[in-house]
Amino acid sequence: MRAAKRDDALLEEVESIISDLKKQGFVLFYGWAHGGESNVVYWNQEHGGDWRKFLECAKALGTDLLYVNWSPFEEFQVEEALQRSDDGTPDDNKTDKRDPERDLQEIERYRDKVGLTAVIDVAFVHDEITHIYQESADWFDTFEALTEAQKERSSVSNGFAHDVKPVDKALVRKWASELAGHPRFRLARTVDQREYILESIAGDEIEKLPIGDILARADAIYQFELKPKEEERIGEQARILRKQGLNINAIAFKLGIPRDRVSALLSGD
pLDDT at position 154 over 90? no
- pLDDT tens, residue by residue, 106-127: 888 889 999 899 989 999 999 8
The stretch 213-230 carries a mean pLDDT of: 80
Residues shown for the chain: 269
pLDDT at residue number 162: 46
CA–CA separation, 267 and 265 (whole Å): 6
* Mean of per-residue pLDDT scores for the chain: 80
pLDDT at residue number 15: 93
CA–CA separation, 38 and 16 (whole Å): 31
pLDDT at position 3 over 80? no
pLDDT at position 211 over 80? yes
Angle of helix 169-180 relative to helix 191-202, nearest 10 degrees?
A: 100
pLDDT at residue number 65: 94
The stretch 94-102 carries a mean pLDDT of: 59
Nearest one of 183, 221, 214 to 199, comparing CA atoms: 214
pLDDT at position 141 over 60? yes
pLDDT at position 215 over 70? yes
High-pLDDT (> 90) share of the chain, %: 21
- pLDDT tens, residue by residue, 60-74: 999 999 999 888 888
Which band of pLDDT confidence, cut at 50, 70 and 90, is reported for residue 25?
very high
Task: Tell me how crowded residue 43 is: count the other CB atoms within 10 A of its CB.
Answer: 20
pLDDT at residue number 161: 45
- pLDDT tens, residue by residue, 29-46: 988 776 554 578 889 888
The stretch 84-101 carries a mean pLDDT of: 56
- pLDDT tens, residue by residue, 222-256: 877 777 777 788 888 888 998 999 998 888 888 87
- pLDDT tens, residue by residue, 247-259: 988 888 888 777 7
Which band of pLDDT confidence, cut at 50, 70 and 90, is reported for residue 163?
very low
CA–CA separation, 194 and 110 (whole Å): 20
CA–CA separation, 237 and 149 (whole Å): 42
Instruction: Please give the residue that has the higher pLDDT: either 2 or 14.
Output: 14
Strands 65-72 and 40-42: unpaired
pLDDT at residue number 66: 94
Instruction: Please give the residue that has the higher pLDDT: either 88 or 124.
Output: 124
pLDDT at position 165 over 80? no
pLDDT at residue number 155: 52
CA–CA separation, 239 and 86 (whole Å): 45
- The span from the first CA to the last CA of the chain, in angstroms, equals 20
Sorted by where each begins, the domain ranges of the chain are 166-269
